[in-house]
Chains A and B, each alone.
Chain A
Amino acid sequence: MKSTILDVTARLLLPWLFFTSLFILYRGHNLPGGGFIGGLVGASGFILLVMGPGLEAAKRALRVDPFSLIGVGLLLAVLSGIGGVFMGNAFMAGLWLPTFSLPLLGTVHLGTPLIFDIGVYLVVMGFTLAMIFSLSEADS
């Protein structure tokens, strides 16, 4: 069943959901949010595309294979842990850049936990999409 309203809304919502998910990812360190929820919100935009315009449109919009997303995400998460080892500390020990200020974002506090969170974001998004894509393939 085709619904033009859903088609158009899905296409319009995709960039908004995507940027919202990035925002949720960024604020997650000290406030509610983070990679997991961000990844789910990000994936929901593409899931809307599957429900509206269809699987092909969602795959075109994503551009990359969801399995590669999982791989890259896991790799980022692992790499974020190695930093601590090279500084002579335990695996996964956090490393932080000095804080600085940016317009719009306020005080910026960058460190390896953010890289880990980006990894989580990509894994969650990749896993959710891989599952939804393969289930809707089996459906049709």
Chain B
Amino acid sequence: MSTLIAIIIGALVAAGVYCLLRRSLMKLVIGIALLGQAVNLLVFSANGLKSANPPLIEASAKTLAEGTADPLPQALVLTAIVIGFGLISFSLALMGVTYQKTGHDDIDALTNTDT
């Protein structure tokens, strides 16, 4: 299973970098989204993939029982997904405004502020 996840992460990164290197603004945003998903998956699988019980403490117990999953990567990934959601929606809005102002979806048209 870890191998499969590793391959998926690799494929997502490859696709993301490919999109980042294209000339279209839309593909740039898609590329960031793909890279974000790859990193989320990496963090999610950080503590190993194993089948385990949900990390909920029984009503009668004080601590987690044996054989439960590590809740931390899940919490981290949830936070990262929410932050990523906000950033992607902002970049989509920015892309929309840029497209309206410049009339281009082409990154090569955006070189006026470079030196």
- Contact assessment for B96 and A127 in the assembled complex, using a CB-CB cutoff below 8 Å: no
- The listed residue (A30, A36, A127) touching B86 by CB distance below 8 A is A127
- Contact assessment for B82 and A138 in the assembled complex, using a CB-CB cutoff below 8 Å: no
How far is B82's CA from A138's CA once the two chains are assembled, in angstroms? 23
B53 within 8 A of A: no
Q: What is the CB-to-nearest-CB distance from A111 to chain B, in angstroms, rounded to a whole number?
A: 17
User: Which chain A residues border B56 with CB–CB below 8 Å?
Assistant: 30
Q: What is the CB-to-nearest-CB distance from B99 to chain A, in angstroms, rounded to a whole number?
A: 11
Give the size range of A's interface with the partner.
under 10
Q: What is the CB-to-nearest-CB distance from B47 to chain A, in angstroms, rounded to a whole number?
A: 21
User: Which chain B residues border A36 with CB–CB below 8 Å?
Assistant: 82
Residue of B nearest to A127 (CB): B86
Q: What is the CB-to-nearest-CB distance from A69 to chain B, in angstroms, rounded to a whole number?
A: 16
A12 within 8 A of B: no
Classify the secondary structure of A's interface with B.
Answer: helix
User: Which chain B residues border A134 with CB–CB below 8 Å?
Assistant: 93
Residue of B nearest to A138 (CB): B96
Residue of A nearest to B97 (CB): A138
Residue of B nearest to A36 (CB): B82
Residue of B nearest to A139 (CB): B96
Q: What is the CB-to-nearest-CB distance from B78 to chain A, in angstroms, rounded to a whole number?
A: 8
B98 within 8 A of A: no
How far is B93's CA from A138's CA once the two chains are assembled, in angstroms? 10
User: Which chain A residues border B82 with CB–CB below 8 Å?
Assistant: 36
A108 within 8 A of B: no
User: Which chain B residues border A30 with CB–CB below 8 Å?
Assistant: 56
Contact with B along A102-140 (1 / 0, CB 8 A): 000000000000000000000000010001001100100
How far is B85's CA from A114's CA once the two chains are assembled, in angstroms? 25
Q: Which of B56, B89, B93, B96 has the most CB of A within 10 A?
A: B89
7 pairs of residues in contact across A and B, judged by CB atoms under 8 Å: A30-B56, A36-B82, A127-B86, A131-B89, A134-B93, A135-B93, A138-B96
Q: Which 7 A-B pairs have the closest CB atoms?
A: A131-B89, A138-B96, A127-B86, A36-B82, A134-B93, A135-B93, A30-B56
